[in-house]
Amino acid sequence: MDKLPKIVIVGGGFGGLYAAFTLHKKPVDVILVDRRNHHLFQPFLYQVATAGLSPGNISQPIRHILSRSPNIRVLLAEATEVDPERRQLHLADAQIPYDTLILATGASHSYFGHEEWKPFAPGLKDIEDAVEIRRRILLAFEAAERELDEARRKALLSFVVIGAGPTGVELAGALVEIAQHTLAHDFKSINPAQARIILLEAAPRILPTFAESLGQAATQYLTKRGVEVRTQTAVTRISSGLVEAGSQRFPAQTILWAAGVAASPLARTLKVPLDKAGRVLVHPDLTIPGHPDVFVIGDIAAFHHQGNKPLPGMAPVAIQMGRHAACNILRKIQGQETLPFHYRDKGMMATIGRNAAVAEIGPFRFTGFPAWVVWLWAHIFFLIGFRNRLMVMIEWLWAYVTFSRGVRLITGDTTLASRRSSSDRPN
């Protein structure tokens, strides 16, 4: 038994998990290391941030997902460094030797060198972030209800979302629903529907990675619902309650960051070339230069697909890479050569809110209600765990019929004055 090749997977996101699925009951000894006990369905994270779903609805214990794989062990631990020379993964308090490593630790947000913006404009990458954003959104309305000063009240009811990729669009769409429907009848002094939701994007159009017609459709949906969409507006400064873009000033109590991503810092410890976002430039077979026993997959990998831009950081890419890396490992064990990775484009989609989304799947482009239905089913299909699927569908059916949101819970500090960064406030 001890002679089986030892595969260490770091990260239990889509990439790491699908690599593990592919190694299920194969003649290898697998350890999956994650600093969280749960797999997180990141595409629904904005729903937790906007009080639509509970954290428990979009997460599942990694240990439980893999409980039927006798050859896979799950370890809750933080990896601090990879030593590819000695073939060791360093944890905070131990080392794990490996024969083959799969690095799948994903990405976090990047403030483009302005780390000082972080406390004022939290990003959305984990449950803690989502609960902190939920807290800020709900507290802003509560504080506005008590505020007597008109300018201050306006700032409390202003929400700026920076970055109009799918996450920014989804956040802005959900915010406008909260203001106009969910909270519409709950306040006595303010009218939540007067909230101002501003979506800022530095590029000439929103959803810049999508087809141009879809970006236009999304702009129309958002504008019609009341979101102020400002393209070609690059943020130059963020301070407490104020976003500046050149000479433009946007006073807003609540500022959300959905702009940049940076690869997990573990990438740097490999000591191989990285791209500007800190992602590892991988070989076509997903290994790294000089170390055919190290595979890098998912958001932490920069894979240049047929000479084009690197593949985007999204679940279908990570899933296919995870499967492919595992297959290549099994091929090597059988003495076969590794195969280059080819991404089968499953399309991409973003939702604007109820009954509205944009989607491109192969040559087809959908907008509006059909796109929304496609978005809904595609996402529920990939959500792990039958129970989670069931609960999410019920929450949504409920929200769809009643316009309400189930998880309007403020936890932690209930004073707005606090300016601690999101990392200080666990869920």
Which residues are known catalytic residues?
170
Interface region with a second copy, contact rule CB under 8 A, candidates 163-171, 179-187, 319-327, 351-359: 179-187
> What HEC string does the chain produce?
CCCCCEEEEECCCHHHHHHHHHCCCCCCEEEEEECCCEEECHHHHHHHHCCCCCHHHHEEEHHHHCCCCCCEEEEECCEEEEECCCCEEEECCCEEECCEEEECCCEEEECCCCHHHCCCCCCCCCHHHHHHHHHHHHHHHHHHHHCCCHHHHHHHCEEEEECCCHHHHHHHHHHHHHHHHHCCCCCCCCCHHHCEEEEECCCCCCCCCCCHHHHHHHHHHHHHHCEEEECCCCCCEEECCEEEECCEEEECCEEEECCEEEECHHHHHHCCCECCCCCEECCCCCEECCEEEEEECHHHEECEHHHCCECCCCHHHHHHHHHHHHHHHHHHHCCCCCCCCCCCCCCEEEEEECCEEEEEECCEEEEHHHHHHHHHHHHHHHCCCHHHHHHHHHHHHHHHHHCCCCCCCCCCCCCCCCCCCHHHCCC
By CB under 8 A, tell whether 218 contacts a second copy.
no
Of 246 and 426, nearer to a second copy (C-beta) is 426
Segment interacting with a second copy, rule: CB under 8 A, options 13-21, 181-189, 211-219, 351-359: 181-189
CA separation for the pair 203, 208 (Å, rounded) = 7
Take residue 267 and report the two structure tokens written for it: 């990438």
> Does position 131 bind a second copy by CB under 8 A?
yes
Instruction: Name which of 69 and 355 has its Cβ closer to a second copy.
Output: 69
Binding mask 5-44 for a second copy (x = CB under 8 A): ------------------------------xxxx------
Binding flag, residue 75, a second copy (CB under 8 A): yes
Of residues 366 through 405, those in contact with a second copy by CB under 8 A are 387-388, 390-391, 394-395, 398, 402, 404
193 is a site residue for a second copy (CB under 8 A): no
| Residue 187 Cβ vs a second copy, minimum distance, rounded to whole Å | 7
Partner residues linked to 349 by β-bridges: 359
Q: Are 231 and 204 in contact (CB under 8 A)?
A: yes
User: Total binding residues for a second copy by CB under 8 A?
Assistant: 55
CB of 37 to a second copy, least distance (A): 4
Closer of 146 and 224 to a second copy (Cβ): 146
Is 152 a binding residue for a second copy by CB under 8 A? The answer is no
Output the smallest distance, CB 308 to a second copy, in A: 38
Amino acid making up residue 189: S
Smallest separation (angstroms) from a second copy to the CB of 387: 5
Site for a second copy contains 77 (CB under 8 A): yes
Stretch that binds a second copy, among 74-82, 116-124, 160-168, 244-252 (CB under 8 A): 74-82
List the interface residues with a second copy, window 44-63 (CB under 8 A).
54-57, 59, 61, 63
Considering the rule CB under 8 A, would residue 119 count as an interface residue with a second copy?
Answer: no
What's the min distance (Å) between Cβ of 206 and a second copy?
A: 31
Q: Is 78 one of the binding residues for a second copy (CB under 8 A)?
A: yes
When binding is defined by CB under 8 A, the residue of 187, 364, 369, 400 that contacts a second copy is 187
- Could you list the residues that contact a second copy (CB under 8 A)? 35-38, 54-57, 59, 61, 63-64, 67-68, 73, 75-78, 92, 127-128, 131, 138-139, 142, 145-146, 185-189, 387-388, 390-391, 394-395, 398, 402, 404, 406-415, 425-427
